[in-house]
Structure 1
Amino acid sequence: MTDNVDRTDESTTDGEPDVDALRTDLEQIKSAMAIEDRYPGQRRLWLVHGIIVGFAGVLTNVMFVYPWPEFVYILVWTAVFVLIGYTQWQTSVRTATTVDDPEPKPSWTVVFGTLVAGLFVLTAIVDPIFADVESVLQGAFFFSVAFTVLGMGYLLAGTILHAYRIRASDRYPFYVNGIWILAFAFVMPFVEWLQYVGYALFGILFFLHGAVTYYLLTYRLSG
């Protein structure tokens, strides 16, 4: 009888929830921040970046009608990537001194620097390979490489924001953007009509994603 009672007491004790662990989980949930609280202006950047990329995409296809020198396309999209990268980097790092982080976090400067370096390296690698390819297809391949790096950047940003305890609803747009951009980059060189109108379509889709995200985060999920 005594043994049975002892076993019952032990099983009851073992079956009790870990109060300290539950308290820690609750504190982590409560500490999850809206992205606008930590990075003021981030919601607006979704719309701003959408407008920039949307305009550049449509402009690229308009330039196809009146053939422009190749360097013009490079200048346009280089300016787009630099502008997006710089504004995003500024928004990400300028809060470093205003938000107290008791634990070490990934460096946004290193992340953005790595993506930029990776884009240059990949472009340099594929340049000789596609030197003799038809110009339209060559452009599609080069833009696919750039879009791939961009998509990876959004996926990486969403993952890093989790380390900064940004709430899930603010991270999902980064994941969604990264996934569809990677899918688009994958099919663009292999679908003939996308080689011609893919730039405008990409710009329009990017703008729609940015506008919808801005609306949802500002008017639906701002609480």
Structure 2
Amino acid sequence: MTDNIDHTDDPPRDSEPDVDALRDDIRQIKSAMAIEDRYPGQRRLWLVHGVVVGLAGVLTNVMFVYPWPQYVYILVWAAVFALVGFTQWQTSARAGTAVDDPAPKPSWTIVFGTLVAGLFVITAIVDPVLADVESVLRGAFFFSLAFAVLGMGYLLAGTILRAYRIRAIDRYPFYVNGAWILAFATVMPFVEWLQYVGYGLFGILFFLHGAGTYYLLTYRLSD
């Protein structure tokens, strides 16, 4: 005679792990690359950009002592943004030809180009509105817009690097940099003392983040 067996305590089959999905997850984790492997020279760029932006920020505050025309400030920071963007684009372009990866990926050229175009459009829109604003406050607003676009660029870069299977530890500096830059850009026009010394402070903070990231990724968290 067959005994009746209660199967109510047996786990449902739906709760069994998906072996194929687990294999895919493990494969994705194993395929994550250090950013230096995918973009040789990227770690060094953290230090280079930190020095360039840091010097530009301090120089801008020093220029407040002299009656420099407004276009001089614009030229200085336009050169800084152009240098940062060009070196970043060159690093991405070289990696695109050096690494064999047939999978479709976002275009860095389109990303950088869109950010630059957006900065010009936003500046053109707000320029008539701020025409009668005091020069010091007007400068703070304009540079806050530029800093905000830069911050968004770093956040976008960190997100896009995930599509390139860059490991998380190398993406975090992009997120952190973008977040504090956006926070800085938000408060700069509304804090009076930042309207005068915010450029130099921004440059110092940017340098510290860049130098710290370079040190950590190169000497502390290197493979």
Return the TM-score normalized by structure 1: 0.95
The root-mean-square deviation of aligned C-alpha atoms, in Å, is 1.7
Unaligned runs of 5+ in 1: none
Cα deviation for residue 5 of structure 1 reads 7.5
Cα deviation for residue 18 of structure 1 reads 1.6
How far apart, in 1, do the equivalents of 2:143 and 2:86 lie?
Answer: 20
How far apart, in 2, do the equivalents of 1:3 and 1:58 lie?
Answer: 83
Instruction: Indicate the residue corresponding to 2:89 in structure 1.
Output: 89
Cα deviation for residue 66 of structure 1 reads 1.3
Q: How many residues get paired?
A: 222
After superposition, residues 37-186 of structure 1 pair within 5 angstroms as 37-186=37-186
Render the CA deviation track for 1:20-79: whole Å, top value 9, x for unaligned. Answer: 111111010000000000000000000000000000000000010112111111110000
Instruction: Indicate the residue corresponding to 2:34 in structure 1.
Output: 34
Q: Does 1:21 align with 2:21?
A: yes
Unaligned runs of 5+ in 2: none
How far apart, in 1, do the equivalents of 2:132 and 2:113 lie?
Answer: 31
How far apart, in 2, do the equivalents of 1:161 and 1:205 lie?
Answer: 24
How far apart, in 1, do the equivalents of 2:130 and 2:28 lie?
Answer: 50
> Secondary structure in 1 aligned to 2:97?
coil
Cα deviation for residue 218 of structure 1 reads 0.2
Instruction: Indicate the residue corresponding to 2:188 in structure 1.
Output: 188
How far apart, in 2, do the equivalents of 1:2 and 1:120 lie?
Answer: 81
After superposition, residues 211-222 of structure 1 pair within 5 angstroms as 211-222=211-222
How far apart, in 2, do the equivalents of 1:2 and 1:147 lie?
Answer: 75
**1:202–1:2 Cα change, 3 Å:** farther
How far apart, in 1, do the equivalents of 2:183 and 2:173 lie?
Answer: 15
> Secondary structure in 2 aligned to 1:166?
coil
**1:3–1:70 Cα change, 3 Å:** farther
How far apart, in 1, do the equivalents of 2:68 and 2:139 lie?
Answer: 13
> Secondary structure in 2 aligned to 1:112?
helix
- Equivalent AA in structure 1 for residue 201 of structure 2: L
Cα deviation for residue 14 of structure 1 reads 3.6
Q: Which moved more, 1:15-24 or 1:207-216?
A: 15-24
How far apart, in 2, do the equivalents of 1:85 and 1:69 lie?
Answer: 25
> Secondary structure in 2 aligned to 1:124?
helix
Say which structure is richer in helix: 1
- Equivalent AA in structure 1 for residue 86 of structure 2: Y
How far apart, in 2, do the equivalents of 1:168 and 1:211 lie?
Answer: 19
Return the TM-score normalized by structure 2: 0.95
How far apart, in 2, do the equivalents of 1:53 and 1:140 lie?
Answer: 17
**1:100–1:5 Cα change, 3 Å:** farther
